[in-house]
Amino acid sequence: MKKNFPVSRLFIISCVFFMCFTVPPELLHAQRPRTVTINLASSLPRNSPWGRILDRIAADWAKITNGEVNLHILHQYPGSEGDYLMKLRQDKIQAAILTSMALNSIAPEIMALSVPLLIRDDDEMDAVLKEVRPTLNARIEQEGYINLVWVKAGWVKIFSRSPVFVPNDLRRLKLGTSPDEHEIMDAFKAMGYNLVPVSLPDVPQRLNSGMIDAVYQSPISASAFQLYRVAKNLSPVNLAPFMGGVLMSRKAWINIPEKYRSQLMESARKAGAEIEDSFQKSETDAIADMLQNGLILNEMNAAQEAEWYRDVQGYLPEMANRGIFHKEMYERILGILQNYRQER
């Protein structure tokens, strides 16, 4: 006797057949999570403290997103910071570590942080950043980027062949300056210094030949290039803070599922604090190592230190009016510092 095919089973088979042949394939796979790949360019070596921290960020992001975000660190990525920016615009990379010099081309307000002798120490820098960071982040976002983290990378200092205690000591010397740092160069010209454009790799040879007598550099760079072997004098004055940041294209950021973004941002900020601590330790270690190998610290008295700040005060308003630095941001920073120093 022929058995009747159950109606319920027939109904299920019909539904499956209908779905397989009428539902678009992309909907059938809608539940499958996609992977977002972020290529982050860094000039730093993988085996450096900063390289290792970047690798930890990548692992942390993969864990937070269950593998949905693949942060791929391109260690020692070739090219200049200008090349990094160009490739960011072309979407060949999606993120990069950049200094304030490169960030300035996106948001000119940033260079106001590096007005010579305006911000004097780490405490003042913290007070300023607390106030202006949201404005700078918003400005960067207007240009199509997200700044994941700001990093204080130490201080630019003066290394010279002969001792420098006051500004006029430096004015008598031929001061090597990067030809790419136009705002800094214009600032020193406005203050009457004798500038000689020279790229960093050429500085040791130019110091040896006597074509330049002094340079302003971070102690980390001065140690790496062994500038102290000829420029044996170090002025303790903090000329300007050295800043960096991790920049990501806004297009790449919004490709990341929104539910993860706040956690990823917090992860980046924690790592940024580690990188900052590492920079500060590296700067301290670099100075200590150079002092052990012949560098001379030109210790200043209170009157000599005050002369640097008094001297620059005569030039800052003119530099702001000439547009060497972003006037509105400079005036805002100056106001923050005046209030901070009064309450200190």
Give the relative orientation of helices 122-142 and 327-343 as an angle to the nearest 10 degrees: 150
Contact (Cβ atoms closer than 8 angstroms) between residue 110 and residue 247? no
Instruction: State which residues form the domain around 249.
Output: 25-343
- pLDDT tens per residue, range 174-216: 999 887 777 788 888 889 999 999 887 889 999 999 999 999 9
Ordered alpha helix ranges (H), 75-191: 81-89, 100-103, 122-142, 167-171, 182-190
Could you give the C-alpha distances from 69 to 56, 187, 193, in angstroms and in order? 14, 43, 50
Q: Is the pTM of this model over 0.75?
A: yes
Which positions of the chain have pLDDT values less than 70? 1-33
- The torsion defined by the Cα of 254, 104, 244 and 131, in degrees rounded to 10, comes to -80
Residue 114, token pair as written in the block: 């590096």
- pLDDT tens per residue, range 61-75: 999 999 999 999 999
Does any domain span residue 17? no
Q: In the prediction, which pLDDT does 292 show?
A: 95
Does any domain span residue 231? yes
Does any domain span residue 277? yes
Q: In the prediction, which pLDDT does 24 show?
A: 54
How many structural domains are present in the chain? 1
Q: Strand pairing of 233-234 and 145-160? A: antiparallel
Does any domain span residue 2? no
Does any domain span residue 7? no
The CATH number for 305's domain is 3.40.190.170
Q: Which of 285, 282, 214, 297 is nearest to 244 (CA)?
A: 282
